[in-house]
Structure 1
Amino acid sequence: MSRLGVDGMVGVFELFNEQLPSQGLIASFGKIIGASFIEASKQRNRSYENEQIKRGEVPERIAKRSSRARRKDLDASWTQKNHVSYFGYKNHVKVDAASKLIDTFTLTHAAIHDSQPVGGLRHESDRETVLWADSTDVGPFIAALLKGFAMLANICEKGTAIRPLSREQKRANKEKSLASEIS
């Protein structure tokens, strides 16, 4: 990590982002949201230690040795996606559709669903723009956010084993994905 630390880096990012609209680099045509995993070193804890960590406690074996405590990441979490396990964090970003520059971001532990931080990523400048997103960002919560900001949704549909996507839905998803790349 840099000498600035996380808070200092966020401050620099915010100062940088304040300059983008005045330079014509943020077009406010639309926004794209997404999330990606940031994997952390896997933790080798005993089962009772994992239970203590989940309760917000630091296990005694870790606390009594500073060298061990430095290697442990007590804030990261496990999650699964497509039957693959991940340990770490998720980076949630909103980018300008035209320039692809990051507009806003937040970091959560990996177990947070992709749609949960979306409310914190929005700004007044997003009002009456288009939002591109993948199929994880659907549901009543996202619909209410979009309605509150008068945003046009361009969200890909999701199929299931019981109800797969039709040929028309697949074509529409492809068009939505291509539109977000071109914008």
Structure 2
Amino acid sequence: DATLRAAGYLAMGGQIVDATIVAAPKQRNTEAERAAIKAGQIPEGWAEKPAKLRQKDRDARWTVKFSKARPREDGAPQVDLAVPAFGYKNHVAIDRRHGLIRGWTASHAAAHDGARLVEVVDADNTAGDVWADTAYRSAKNEAWLAERGLVSRIHRKKPPGRPMAARTRRANARKSAVRSAV
């Protein structure tokens, strides 16, 4: 951090936080092996085979990533696509002004993004703005940011069963313009 400061990279533009899934090779485990791995144990028979034990990834997890399909030409509504993924998540916070990674942590893919906000936000950033997507919005995170004098620029969620208010949609669009840097 002192080296960056000496080179003229003072963190003063705010922070942008995001997570990305990193795929790992899929494991072909039996139900019993899967249950043992989830319980934090080594499955029966693996300890006697060190080569097999080295090849098995016991920390990665499955998750489902949702995204929108491309709009169809006939005007039919968009469909949510559910894509299963096995692996890990990289959680990063970058400085808005310079784009340098200021905080980083990794977790299994099924970990909730919002739970990692505290781990990646850089306390030395002189600007108080923090941008993130809706996964990071929670009462706990909002209180934590306010407690430290940081300004939340976290996207707001759409209310269930109702359309999103126009002003909220516009505010999220302005935030997305900043968040696109990460």
Determine if the TM-score, normalized by the shorter chain, exceeds 0.5.
yes
Return the alpha-carbon distance in structure 2 between the equivalents of residues 27 and 169 of structure 1.
29
Q: Secondary structure at the match of 2:103?
A: strand
* Superposed displacement of residue 81, structure 1: 2.3
Deviations 1:140-170 (A, max 9, x none): 1111111111111111122256133233322
* Superposed displacement of residue 89, structure 1: 0.8
Deviations 1:108-149 (A, max 9, x none): 111110011111223431465111111111111111111111
Aligned to 1:8: none
Q: Secondary structure at the match of 2:11?
A: coil
Return the alpha-carbon distance in structure 1 between the equivalents of residues 32 and 121 of structure 2.
40
Q: Secondary structure at the match of 2:25?
A: coil
Aligned to 1:54: 38
User: Identity over the aligned pairs, expressed in percent?
Assistant: 34
Aligned to 1:71: 55
Aligned to 1:167: 166
Question: Cα gap change, 1:149/1:127 in structure 2, threshold over 3 Å: closer, same or farther?
Answer: farther
Amino acid at match of 2:176: S
Which has the larger displacement, 132-141 or 61-70? 61-70
The structure with higher relative contact order (CA 8 Å, sep 6+) is: 2
Q: Secondary structure at the match of 1:53?
A: helix
Question: Cα gap change, 1:61/1:20 in structure 2, threshold over 3 Å: closer, same or farther?
Answer: same
What TM-score comes out, normalization by structure 2 length? 0.83
Aligned pairs, how many? 166
Aligned to 2:70: none
* Superposed displacement of residue 180, structure 1: 4.3
Q: Is the 8 A contact 1:127 1:150 kept in 2?
A: no
Return the alpha-carbon distance in structure 2 between the equivalents of residues 172 and 124 of structure 1.
26
What TM-score comes out, normalization by structure 1 length? 0.82
Aligned residue among 3, 26, 29 for 1:42: 26
Q: Is the 8 A contact 1:31 1:126 kept in 2?
A: yes
Q: Would you tell me which structure has more helix in proportion to its own residues?
A: 1
Q: Secondary structure at the match of 2:46?
A: helix
* Superposed displacement of residue 66, structure 1: 2.3
Question: Cα gap change, 1:66/1:160 in structure 2, threshold over 3 Å: closer, same or farther?
Answer: farther
Aligned to 1:11: none
Return the alpha-carbon distance in structure 2 between the equivalents of residues 39 and 18 of structure 1.
33
RMSD: 1.9
Return the alpha-carbon distance in structure 2 between the equivalents of residues 71 and 85 of structure 1.
22
Q: Is the 8 A contact 2:15 2:121 kept in 1?
A: no
Aligned residue among 7, 21, 25 for 2:5: 21
Aligned to 1:13: none
Unpaired stretches in structure 2, ≥5 consecutive residues: 67-81
